[in-house]
Amino acid sequence: MNRRPAIGPALAPYLLGVARIIIGLLFLQHGAEKLCGFAVGRIDHDFGTLRGFAGPLEVAGGTLIALGLFTRFTAFILCGEMAVAYFRSWAPRGFFSIQNGGEEAVLFCYIYLWLVTAGAGVWSLDRLMGENRSPQSRTIQETITS
């Protein structure tokens, strides 16, 4: 039997990088909408409100995620932001996310949770900065496979 090698595992790190960049740029748009009215969005400079605070967080976080810089930490913060956004703004409108309009918040929350565990991928500044890491700062998976 002639078996072809699976290409999925070989492409996974690159697809992770592509997904991370796209997610970061999409999230950056949400913040730009709040800060400067991108795409005819509602500008909110009242930084004392959750929506006003979310704008700078989404611009900075989306940029860091797209660049792959401090990815795990940034994804953790943004995952929490999306969980708060869902339960404060969307969940009171109904039980199902398709009914209450919160499916974007749920998707972003779980994608960021995935990035916390998966990391940035090969096309990232985290990877460039981490090539000269000391053995003490290696990830658990790197330690196991070495």
In three-state form (DSSP H/G/I as H, E/B as E, the rest C), the secondary structure along the chain is CCCCCCCHHHHHHHHHHHHHHHHHHHHHHHHHHHHHCCCCCCCCCCCCCHHHHHHHHHHHHHHHHHHCCCHHHHHHHHHHHHHHHHHHHHHHHCCCHHHHCCHHHHHHHHHHHHHHHHCCCCCCHHHHHHCCCCHHHCCHHHHHHC
| pLDDT of the residue at 61 | 97
Q: pLDDT-based confidence at 5, cuts 50/70/90?
A: low
pLDDT at 121 over 90: no
Model-level pTM? 0.80
**Res 52: pLDDT:** 76
In this prediction, residue 1 carries a pLDDT of 55
- pLDDT of the residue at 23: 96
Measuring CA to CA, how many Å separate 115 from each of 52, 95, 108, 119, 131?
A: 25, 26, 10, 5, 19
Quote the pLDDT of residue 11: 86
Residue 73 has pLDDT above 70, yes or no: yes
pLDDT value at residue 17: 93
Q: pLDDT tens, 8-57?
A: 778 888 999 999 999 999 999 988 888 887 777 777 667 777 777 888 99
Determine the Cα–Cα distance for residues 51 and 74; give it in Å rounded to an integer: 18
- What is the tens place of the pLDDT at every residue in 76-119? 999 999 999 999 988 999 999 889 999 999 999 999 999 999 99
**Mean of pLDDT values over 125-140:** 66
Region of 70 (left: φ > 0; alpha: ψ -120 to 50; beta: rest) is left
pLDDT at position 84: 94
